[in-house]
Amino acid sequence: MSTPRLSQNPDEVELLRRARAGDKESFYNLVRPYERPIFMAAMCVLRNEADAEEVSQDAVLRAFCGLPRFRGECKFSTWLIQITINESRAKLRKNRRGLYESIDDQREGDEKYWFPKDYADWREIPSEELERKELGEALKRALDSLPLRYREVLVLRDVQDLTTQETAQVLGVTKACIKTRLLRARLQMRDALRPEVDGTWMSGRLEFAKARPFVE
């Protein structure tokens, strides 16, 4: 039996032990704290609630079957999210939508030199002026407008608070690639959330690329 990482919650270690022995109840309790993170991981890839629900739950079932292979070299949550991301990408390939957004463009070409050539209005986004719900919707629309490779990094690092190392492991790229993609993702989000010329706030429209030739 693998030696669990010392950083793991002892309760989680016990649940994992029982789950490996086939205790489904324990496995459900093990997974339950991560329901929202895995759903969010699936959503950032698929951008569709029904697909994300199906895929994230299928990922959990796949994790149960794969428990003998989990050696505790990373946190259980990281492993679970990695499975979810992989399943989501596979689903995206199958979907018709996948025809318009290639997920094969995940190569580590981002590590080449890059510097923002242009930038939109960099005024502080007045989050105080936006109601929480409005802000959440605006952020989601802006996130949806980003390329997949930036959505994934932004959600895993800035929302789910995975470390750079964990994010790199989940996505199968280097730490340097994660850092580069993260800053670009943040800047593209900022551009997607920029104010209109009349001062009102807009978000997520693809027209921003025409107005501001910012993206690669």
Chain residues that interact with another protein, rule: CB under 8 A:
24, 27-28, 31-32, 35-36, 39-40, 43, 49, 53, 57, 60-61, 64, 113, 115-116, 119, 122, 124-125, 127, 132, 135-136, 139-140, 143, 154-155, 158-159, 161, 163-164, 176, 179-180, 182-183, 186-187, 189-190, 193
Smallest separation, CB 96 to another protein (Å): 22
Smallest separation, CB 101 to another protein (Å): 19
* Cα–Cα distance for residue pair 93/172, rounded to 1 Å: 17
Smallest separation, CB 42 to another protein (Å): 10
Phi, psi for 201 (deg, rounded to 5): -100, 135
* Cα–Cα distance for residue pair 165/174, rounded to 1 Å: 8
Nearer to another protein, 95 or 144 (CB): 144
What lies within 8 Å, CB to CB, of 208 at 6+ separation is 120, 145, 191, 192, 194, 214
Find the radius of gyration of the CA atoms of the chain.
19
Nearer to another protein, 92 or 155 (CB): 155
* Cα–Cα distance for residue pair 192/144, rounded to 1 Å: 10
Q: Which tokens is 203 given?
A: 């978000």
Nearer to another protein, 43 or 171 (CB): 43
Smallest separation, CB 182 to another protein (Å): 6
Smallest separation, CB 184 to another protein (Å): 9
Residue 72 contacts residue 78 (beta carbons within 8 Å): no
